[in-house]
Amino acid sequence: MSAKVQKIVQFFKIVRINNLLIIALAQWLTARFLIPFSVYEQASIFQIILSSVLLVLSGFLFNDLMDLKTDSANNKLNGFIFLGTSKLKYLGIITFLFSLALLLAWITTSVFFWLQVFTLLFILLYSVFIKKIIFLKNIYVSLLTAWAIAIFIFIHDSYDPFAWLFVFFAFWLNMIREAVKDMQDKKGDTFAGISTIPVVLGDVFSWNYLITLTAILLVSEILCIHYLWEFFGFRIYFLMLVFTPSFLLLSFILRFRMTENKLVWFNHITKGLMITGMISMIFL
């Protein structure tokens, strides 16, 4: 692989391209299949998605600036280190992305603009303060993830129970991902003095906590299949590509010891579950 291609690959990792694509997919599916599509013009949907992606991207980059010590200890790619620029220029890039996201929101609707302002404050509060508080950090990040779907509910002033169902699953799956990431990042968090569950409560508690979260997810999926019995296509898809992987994930967590490779693998599975779960919107 050439140096130029490596640089491009590293850049995509820095901006968390997978996470950004998941957010864009979640919002498009929500607007297309959960919230009545006729309410929005095509341009409005694009503006909402682009504004959300830019806001999250700027949040990632700002968080990298706050995470220099932990990312170095965990050997993680970091946006500030990657760009190799001054803090002033780096903050200028972040401010530009924030501003562009808010401009797109303002052009779309006033409601969406104020929702994005709230989201921006939420992101900044997390990076500066909340991320240092055990448990609350995980809940906060998961709420931000679920917000990508919930924001359409507030824009449309719709309280569709199916939409709230997917908000819950997005929140809970991210709680599992955050638990896994905390275990992956234990070394750097310990070095930086950040209070995460593994650092404060130990590996055994963290493992049991992960098992509990996954078990609750599995029970929730069983209830979902039971109460949405009349949606045959959804039930079959959900059973095969959401429930079965969740069951296997719990089985593997119970069976295998916690190692770095296993944690990376668990993280990929939960990300895959988020994607297959979102696609199930099509069948409702």
pLDDT tens digit at each of 284 positions of the chain: 565 656 566 666 776 788 889 899 999 988 888 876 555 456 688 899 999 999 998 888 888 777 666 655 555 655 555 556 667 787 888 899 999 999 999 998 888 999 999 999 988 888 888 877 888 889 988 998 899 999 988 887 767 788 898 999 999 999 999 999 899 888 777 877 778 899 899 988 999 999 999 999 999 999 988 887 677 788 888 888 888 889 988 888 888 766 777 788 888 888 888 888 888 888 87
Helix, strand, coil percent content, the chain, rounded in steps of 5: 85, 0, 15
Please name which of 146, 102, 142 lies closest in space to residue 126, comparing C-alpha atoms: 142
The DSSP code for 132 is G
Query: What is the CATH code of the structural domain delimited by 1-133?
Result: 1.10.357
d(CA 45, CA 109): 11
- CA angle at 115 for the pair 93 and 45, rounded to the nearest 5°: 80
> Tokens for 272?
């895959």
> Tokens for 190?
């310990």
Q: pTM of the full predicted structure?
A: 0.87
d(CA 282, CA 22): 16
